[in-house]
Amino acid sequence: MLYNYQPLTDISTSDYAPQLSGGKALFRAKVTVKRGPAPGLGGNWSTKEAIAYFRANGAGVYASGWM
């Protein structure tokens, strides 16, 4: 799920192909966050990108984080 509560922030994701092997799965998504200047303070837009992931097996998710 993707939630964005800040009016001058744009968050988007793009999926990578899931990898399945030996009863385990790896899911990754590229997350891009574009943040605008603070109201009344000025500044520039900035962009950050990272890869979010989680690993799962038959029992559920056993690892998650950022690459």
pLDDT tier, 2 (very low <50, low <70, confident <90, very high otherwise): low
Give tens-digit pLDDT for 5-54: 677 888 898 988 889 999 999 999 999 999 888 777 777 889 999 999 99
Greater confidence (62 vs 17) lies with 62
Burial bucket for residue 42 (CB in 10 Å: 0-12, 13-18, 19+): exposed
> Looking at the domain assignment, is residue 17 inside a domain?
yes
In a domain, residue 2? The reply is no
Residue 47 lies in a domain: yes
What's the structural domain count of the chain? Answer: 1
In a domain, 3, yes or no: no
pLDDT given for residue 61 in this prediction: 94
Whether residue 1 lies inside any domain: the answer is: no
Beta bridge partners of 28: 53
Neighbours of 12 (CB within 10 A): 13
Look at residue 31 and tell me if it is in a domain: yes
* Domain housing 22: 9-57
Within-domain flag for 66: no
Does residue 28 lie within any of the structural domains? Answer: yes
pTM over cut 0.85: no
